[in-house]
Every structure is written in C-alpha cells, then in structure tokens.
Amino acid sequence: MIKNYEIEGWALSTGVDAERRLLQVIELLSTGADTFCLEAHFNDLHTLEVVAKAVPSSRFSLFGWTTIENESFFSRPECSSIQSARVVFGDQFLTVSRHDELPPYDWDGIPNNIMAVSLVERHVEPVKADSAEPSQCVLAFVKQLSEDVGARQIKASTSMKGDYRDHNYMAFLHRSKIANFLGSICAKLRLENGIGAFEILGTAAILRLLINQGNYRLGQYPSNCWSFNDGVGKTPFALERASFLYPVLNLNSSSIIEVIGLLDSLKSSVCRTSVTRKYLSWKVDGQNTPKTQNNYIRLSKQKSGYALLIGYEQFSNSDTSVAQFASEATSILGRFGAKLKPIPYIK
C-alpha cells in the first residue's frame, strides 16, 4: 500500500526556505540522506551552462530533431549517448527508450544503462493476411543482430491502434551498443531519408558543441516527430528529465541550498525545478522501514512557491502500517507547525 502526502503549514515561497525544510524533514523522520536528484529544465543553453558550474554532470539533455540520410548518421559520436529517440522512415520506425529495471530495495541512485531499442513496422488496416503477425524473417534478423552486440533479450509484439497495426521487434542492450545496432538495422533494411527526434545526454560543453555544429534543430518539430521534453515548460534542455520515476543522484546535501538559490535567481530561464530522494528509510516507533522505491521526499516548484511531498509504502504485511506512519509523522511535524495532507497524485 502506498500513500502520498503534502506537508502544509510552512512558508515555502523561496527555494532556500523550501530546501531547509526538506533537510529538516529528512533529519526528523528518516534515517538520513546526503544525496539527492536535482531535475531542472532550461530555456536556453547559457542558463544550463551556469547551472553546470554548480552541478557538474554528463547527464544534461538536449532535445532536438534532424534529418537522417542513411545508416552513416549513427556513426556520429553523440549517438552513443542517446537517451530517447524516434526515427521515422515512412511506415517503419526506430525507437530508443530507457529500460527501467529497479530493485524493490536499496537502489543506490546509479544510472541503469540498459536501453530498449525497437524496430516498428506499421500496417494500415485492413492488414493483408501475410502481414497480420510479426515477420519471422525480420525477427530472425533482429535476433541475430542482437546476439552480435550482446543484447540481453529480444521479443516481438503486436499492438492494434484502430486504423493501423504495429509490429514491434524490441531488444534490450547497453547504451554503448545502441549506435551500432541502429546503424546495422538501417543498412540491412535500407532505411533512408528519415527524420528523427532525439534526447541526447552530455556535459554542457558537449551540448554546446552540438549546437555550434548546427546538426540539430530545437523547435518547430515536424508533425511526424516530437520533442521528448514536451511536458511542463517544453524547453530544449534539461537535467534528469522525468526524474521522479528514475531519480539519479547528482546533488549533495552540503550544496543543495546554494544550488537551489542559484536556480531561483535565474527566474524564468529555469521553468521547472524539483529535488527528489527515493529509497528512504523512515523512522517509525523506533524502527527503520525498508528502503522501498515509494518511500520518498520530493520538493517541486509550483506556479507560486514550492510544494514539499513525502510518500510511504507498506511493502509487506509485516511492515509498519501506513496509518501508523502518518500518525507518528503528524505528531512530529506538528511540533514545528506543519501537518500532513493526503494527496492523490505527485505534483
């Protein structure tokens, strides 16, 4: 059983005030945490570079699109750092997405570099009889190629979309193998003259180089591709996009207040900010709870001020109940003028 709460009663108008309260909650309710995941979305590269001086990382994201003549595109150096992609060649698509396989306990916040790479073939209804199921020839080719690059698993599936049917041939492989895998598929199937949308990871310097080279466009996406940062803000750059599901640790508690103060000072150039820590162990009735994925604390910037959220998961029947956790947390926070408000979703 999982329950989410917002902590109310504290003035969280600035990031510095909010971070002080976050650290206070960590000290009062948990066994401690000294590293967190900062997520931020930037309107321009200059702002990203300013933040990168305070939070060095090789996981800043560039979101852009470009045309792809043939398999030679995937020999570019940045293709080894693809985080997400959708490349369209008529009725055939290549997609790349993060393959999340998180353990139930004690995740250490280190990135999982196994990616899901798919070849999708689309057939418009009514589908011909010989195209009703995934092609065994294509599946055999993808399996062989997967073995050549050391992929962990390969599977085929079909999804019905109403007016068309997609056959999906998916492999799971290490990030370092993606470029070779995609290039080999393009060469074998003679996929040419495509258009692709990408999320590419890198340092601030690497992303600056990609922009200066002019290889990617950051806006005005064609109708058949889209930005992978199309949520709140729709910015062309980010750090740890969608971090709540997969919060890679990148920020120490010793510098967290200074960094959030910097982000506040950048104002509208940073359109979205959050700080998250999962796999916390809460202290309840003198005992430590298991470090599950849904034991978390999260600070997120809102239209006005910040919201401070916590979550508790009763992972097994022998764990402390949700009601007992809420009762004890309410009692402790109440001494400092705060209270828990149950919420149905994460802000």
**Separation between Cα atoms, residue 133 and residue 112, nearest integer Å:** 32
Q: Show Cβ contacts of residue 307 under 8 Å, excluding neighbours closer than 6 positions.
A: 6, 12, 299, 300, 347
Most confident stretch, 171-175, 267-271, 282-286, 289-293: 267-271
Mean pLDDT of 289-298: 93
The token pair at 36 is 């967190």
- pLDDT exceeds cutoff 70 at 347: no
Q: What is the pLDDT of residues 262-278, one digit of tens each?
A: 999 999 999 999 999 99
Token pair 């600035």: residue: 14
Token pair 């985080």: residue: 83
Query: What does the DSSP assignment read for 76-117?
Result: SGGGGGEEEEEEEETTEEEEEEE-----SB----PPP-EEEE
Q: Report the chain's mean pLDDT, rounded to a whole number.
A: 92
The per-residue pLDDT for 157 is: 87
Cβ(238)–Cβ(218) under 8 Å?
Answer: no
Q: Show Cβ contacts of residue 13 under 8 Å, excluding neighbours closer than 6 positions.
A: 304, 305, 306
**Separation between Cα atoms, residue 298 and residue 37, nearest integer Å:** 9
The token pair at 15 is 């990031």
Phi, psi for 264 (deg, rounded to 5)? -60, -40
Domain ranges of the chain: 2-56+243-343, 60-238
Distances (CA, A) of 316 to 110, 173, 289: 25, 32, 11
Distances (CA, A) of 260 to 7, 55, 142, 265, 310: 19, 11, 46, 9, 19
The per-residue pLDDT for 1 is: 85
Q: What is the pLDDT of residues 52-109, one digit of tens each?
A: 999 999 999 999 999 999 999 999 999 999 999 999 999 999 999 988 767 777 888 8
- DSSP designation for 272: E
Burial of 22 (0-12, 13-18, 19+ CB in 10 A): buried
Mean pLDDT of 243-258: 94
Going by their DSSP bridges, the two strands 92-98 and 153-160 should be labelled as: unpaired
Distances (CA, A) of 101 to 113, 146, 246, 328, 342: 10, 19, 10, 32, 28
**% of the chain residues with pLDDT over 70:** 99
**Separation between Cα atoms, residue 181 and residue 149, nearest integer Å:** 7
Q: Show Cβ contacts of residue 337 under 8 Å, excluding neighbours closer than 6 positions.
A: 9, 10
The per-residue pLDDT for 56 is: 96
User: Full-prediction pTM beyond 0.85?
Assistant: yes
Cβ(74)–Cβ(238) under 8 Å?
Answer: no
Q: What is the pLDDT of residues 203-230, one digit of tens each?
A: 999 999 999 999 999 989 998 888 999 8
More confident: 161 or 69 = 69
**% of the chain residues with pLDDT over 90:** 68
Q: What is the pLDDT of residues 301-342, one digit of tens each?
A: 998 899 999 999 988 888 889 999 999 999 999 999 999 999
- pLDDT exceeds cutoff 80 at 160: yes
The per-residue pLDDT for 309 is: 97
